[in-house]
Structure 1
Amino acid sequence: MTVSNSPAEQAIRAVIYVRISQDRTGAGLGIERQLEDCQALANRNGWNVIDTYSDNDVSAYSGKARKDYQRMLTDLDGGAATVVVTWHTDRLHRFPTELEKYIDLCERRGVATHTVQAGVIDLSTPSGRMTARILGAVAKQESEHKGHRVARARMQKAKNGEWGGGIRPFGWGVATGETKKKIDKKTGEEVEVPVLDMNKAVPEEAAAIETGTEMLLSGGSIRGWVKWLADKGYTTTRGNAITHVDARDMLLRPRNAGIAVYKGEEIGTGPWDQLVPEEKFRAVVAILKDPSRKTTPGAQPKWFGSLIFRCGAPGCTETMRVTKTGRLQLPSYRCRLQHGGGRRAQMVDDYIEDLIIERLSRPDAADLLLPGPEDVDVAALQIESEQIRRRLTDLAGAFGAGQITMPQFTEGSDVARAQLEGVNRQLARAATRDPLVPLVGAPDVRKVWKSMGLQERRTVLRELLDVTLHAPRPGRMPDGTYFDYDAIKVRWVRGAS
C-alpha cells in the first residue's frame, strides 16, 4: 500500500456552501464576504477545499430550486467530501423537511458541518441534531416575520400610492432631473441613471393609452391598437415591440384610472396622474373580459364579411370565409364545407356596405341608436365604490383582530364584492359607446365609413345586419349582370330596412 506524503492529499476534504436571499445590485458582494469567511475557517483547520457551491439571489424559504445546493448533496452522497463549511446554518436550510434530509445524508456519509457563526454542528449526536433543529426553527421564524414585515410594508406603499419598483409602466415616469447610482447587472459597473417621478404621466404614452381605450369603446380591437402603436413608433418601456398580450395588459391596468391595487385587490385611489376616467376603464375591462366576446384565432380577417356572413345551404350552420375559386381564381365567399362558390367577395362586401351607408344616411337613422346611459350617476357610483372597498378593508382588519369569525368575514366579503361588481357594471355602462354614433347624423356618412378601420366597420355590421349567402343562380341575371343579388338575404337586427 502506497502512503502519500502530500499535505493536500492527506488533508480533510471539504466543500463550501454560500447563499444570499436577495442580491439587489447583482454584484454578488454578500456571496464574496461569506466565501472569504468560510475559506478562512477552512485554512485555519487545514482542510482541503475541493469545491465551492453558490446560490446567489435565491431564498431558502421561497421554495425556489437551489441548483448548487442540490449539486452539493449529490456530490456528498457520492463521497466527494467529509466536511461542509458554511457561514451559518440558515444559509443551508430554513425548512425542517430539508434539514432532516440533510441530517440523514450526513449520518450515512459521515459528513461534518462547520459554520463561521454558529461553530460546529455535530449531526452524528442527538444534542448536535437538536441544536441544528432549534437553529432551523429560529431561522424559519425569522423568515416568516420578515415576510410579514415585507408584505405589510408593500401593502402600506400600495395604499399610499408609492411606486414599488420594477419595470417602468407604460404611461408614467417623468425624469426629475436628478440621477442615482446603480450597478449594471450585465457589466457589473456602477452607472448613473435618471430618477423618475412615477406619479407623473408621460404625455405621449398617456395619449396612446387614451387612444387604445377609445378604439375599444368604439368597436375596435386590440389587434388594431397594436398596429396603430407600431405605426406611430411606440415600444414597451424596455424598447421591445408591443405585442397583443402587452397591449391588452396595458388597457386592463387599474392604475390607468387612478386605482391602487395590492395582490390583485383594489384598495383605493392613488396619487398618480389618471390616464382615463374610471367609467371608461370599467367599460374596457367589461369588453375584454366578456366571456362571450368573439375573437378570431389566427390571422386577422381581411374581408368585410369573413366569418360573419352565414351560409344559406340547407342544414348548414357555418359562417363564410373568402377563398379563391374558379378558373380565374377570384376571391369568393365559401363556407368550410365548400358551399357557395361563385360569389365575388368584393361585390358582396360593396353591396352590404352600400346597404348600411344608405340606411344610416336617412333622416330617421337616429332611431337605430341604443338608449344612452344618461341615467347613470358616475360620481355617486364612484363614491359608492370607494365605500365598499373601505368596508372590505375594515372587515379584514376586524377578522385579523379577532372581532369577527371566519364565517362572518366570508359572508360580509361576499356581499361587499357582489355589490362592488354591480357598481363596476354600472360604471362600465356609463362609458359604453354605440358603434353607430360616429355615423348617425354625419354630413357625409360614406366619408366617415371609409375613414373607419375594418374592425370598426365589422362591428357595425354585427350590430345592424344578419347576412345569409345562398347558392347563386347560374347564367345572366334579369339586370343583365352575372351577379345574383337575390341570393344575398339580409335581416336588420336594429330597426327595419
Structure 2
Amino acid sequence: MSPTLRSSIDVAAGGRTRAVIYCRISQDRTGAGLGVDRQREDCEALAERNGWDVVEVYVDNDVSAYSGKKRKGYVRMLDDLEQGTATVVIVWHTDRLHRSTTELEKYIDLCEKRGVSTHTVQAGKLDLATPSGRMTARILGAVAKQESEHKGERVARARQQKAMAGEWAGGMRPFGWGVPTGETVKRVARKTGEESEVPVLDMTKPVPEEAAAVLHWTDTLLSGGSVRSCVKWCADKGFTTPRGYAITHQDLRDMLVRPRNAGIAVYRGEEVGRGKWEPIVPEEKFRAVVAILKDPSRKTNVGAQPKWVGSLLYLCGREGCGGGMTVTQSGGRQYPSYKCPTGHGGGRRAEKVDQYVEDVIVERLSRDDAQDLLLPGPDDVDVAGLQAESEQIRRRMTDLAGLFGAGQLELAPFTEGMEAARAQLDGVTKQLARAATVDPLVDLVGAPDVRKAWKALELERKRGVLRALVTVTLTTPRQGRMPDGGYFDYDAVQFEWKRG
C-alpha cells in the first residue's frame, strides 16, 4: 500500500494522519539536550502545518548513527512502525535517521511493507515508494556517510595534534589530575533528565591526594611490594576510580604504567614527547615500575593472596616440567604441601621447605661477602642526559613519520629508521629504570641481625628477595629416614644462585 493511499484511508475513516517524530544528536557536549529540543520543535511545527497527529516522539541523545552503537529510540520506532503505529515519520534531516547504507535498506523495506512515508524539515518529503525517491535517499545516505568519515578524520587529526603538542586530548578524567577551576557547566543526566552543575577541571594540575597515592604505589613496588598490597591500601584509604568504582588489580596496573604519570604524552599507544601538565612521578621511577610490572617472572596468579614464600616461585624438578609449585592439602594429608599442579612427584611439607629455604637465604646474606650480592648503585646514571637523549629520539621518530606521511620517504628506509630509533629508545628507558631501581636485598645486607630483619619483612618482600636472589627447584624426595636421622630430604631442595 502506498503512503498516499494509506493517508486517504485514514481521512476517509474520520481520523487524521498519524505521525511519529524521530530526533537524534550525535554529540551533546553540555548534556542540555538543546539540539534535540530544536529538532523536536521544528518537526512538531511541520506536523501542525500538515494537519498530522503526532502520536510518539523518539529521541536518541548523544548517540552517533555512524558509530554502530545501538540507538534505543530508533529501534523502538521501527518496532512500533511494524505494528502500524503511524504512517508518517518526521525527522529534521535524513542524516538524523541514517548514516549507514545497511540501516537505510532495512528502513526502506519496512516503509514499503507498511506504507510509511518520510518527511523532513530540511529536505522535504522522501518518497521511498518510488525508485527515484529511494535513489535520492541512498545518495543522501552516501553523502552523510562521507561527512561522518571526514568528521572522524578531523577529530582524529585534532587529537593527534593535541597529543603532539603535549596538550590534553579529552576523554575520561585520569586518576591523579583534574583540579576544579572554580567554573561550572550545566549537565543533564541521560537517564533521569536531572540537571546539575558540573565543575570545569584543569587537567594540567595534579589532584594532591591522588597524586600522592600514585607516588605511594610507585615507591611500594620499587621497594619490593606488590600490586595486590596497593589495591588493599586503596580499599583501606577509600580511593576509587574517577568513575567511583573500587580500584581493581588491573586498574592499578594500568594506572602505574601510564606515561602520563611522568609527564609524557601518548598518541595511539606511542610516546610522542613531553606533556604540558605537571608530572607526579619522576621518569626514572616510572621506567623502573614499568620494567618491574612487565618482568615475565612476576606473572603469577592474581587471585588469592599467597600464603607461602615459594608459591609459584619454587619450580618442579621433574624433567620436562619446570612449572611453579603450589601449596595444597589434598590426598588426606593433615598439613599443607608443595605439589606440582600436574599432580606428579608427590608432595613436600610446605612449612619445612619454606623454613629451610629461608634459613639458607639468611645464612647467605649473613656472610662477610654479602655486599657483593648487591646490584650496582644508580649513582653513575645521568638521568638528565638520558631524558634529553630520549626526547631527541622521539623527535627523530616524529620527523620520520612526517616525511613518510608526506611521501618524501619510502617504506623501507622509514621502517629501518623507526626500528633503530625504537631500539635506541628501549636502551635509554632501561638505563632510566636502573636509576630508580631499589635492590630487594638492600634492607638485609649489612643488617646487624639478618634473621631479625628477614622476619620483619612482609611476605611479599620476602618473595621479592627470593625472586631476585635464587631459583629454588624441588625434586622428588627420597623415601624413608635420611642420614641425619630425620625424614626431610634436604638434597631434594636445590638452589641456583642468580647473584654471587
* TM-score with structure 2 setting the length: 0.84
**Aligned mates of 2:297, 2:368 — CA distance in 1:** 34
| Residues 242-285 of structure 1: CA deviation (Å, up to 9, x unaligned) | 11011111101111111011232222111222222223222322
Alignment map for 1:65-464 (pairs within 5 Å): 65-76=70-81, 79-176=84-181, 178-185=182-189, 188-291=193-296, 293-310=298-315, 319-324=324-329, 329-336=334-341, 337=343, 339-340=345-346, 343=349, 345-372=350-377, 376-405=381-410, 409-464=414-469
Matched to 1:183, the amino acid is R
Q: Is 1:20 aligned with 2:57? A: no
| Unpaired runs of at least 5, structure 1 | none
Q: Does 1:471 align with 2:474?
A: no
Report if the CA contact (8 A) 2:317-2:473 is conserved: no
Q: Which runs of 5+ in 2 are unaligned?
A: 1-7
> How far apart are 1:158 and its partner, in Å?
2.8
Partner deviation per Cα, 1:281-328 (whole Å, 9 max, x = no partner):
223223323445431253122011233334568998565433447999
Aligned twin of 2:50? 45
The CA distance in 2 between the partners of 1:271 and 1:228, in whole Å, is: 30
Report the residue type matching 2:176 in the other structure. G
Deviation of the 1:105 alpha carbon: 4.2
**What amino acid sits opposite 2:68 in the alignment?**
G
8 A contact 1:210–1:276 mirrored in 2: yes
Question: How many matched pairs?
Answer: 490
Offset of 1:366 from its aligned partner? 1.2
**CA–CA separation in structure 2 for the residues paired with 1:99 and 1:38:** 20
1:44 deviates by 1.9
Post-superposition CA distance 1:427-468 (Å, at most 9, x none): 334444432223222333334323322122112123333253
The CA distance in 2 between the partners of 1:313 and 1:123, in whole Å, is 74
Q: Secondary structure at the match of 1:10?
A: coil
Distance 1:354 1:78 in 2: 79
Structure 1 pair 254/39, CA: closer, same or farther in 2 (3 Å)? same
**Structure 2 CA distance for partners of 1:45 and 1:390, relative to 1, 3 Å:** same
Q: 1:489 aligns with which of 461, 473, 493?
A: 493
CA distance in 2, matches of 1:143, 1:314: 60
Structure 1 residues 73 and 231 mapped into 2: Cα distance closer, same or farther (>3 Å)? Answer: closer
| TM-score for both structures, normalised by structure 1 | 0.85
Q: Distance in 2 between matches of 1:422 and 1:5?
A: 78
Contact 2:285 / 2:436 at 8 angstroms: preserved in 1? yes
Mapped contact 1:34–1:87 kept (Cα < 8 A)? yes
The Cα shift of 1:115 comes to 0.6
The answer to which of 113-122 and 65-74 deviates more is 65-74
Q: Distance in 1 between matches of 2:40 and 2:284?
A: 56
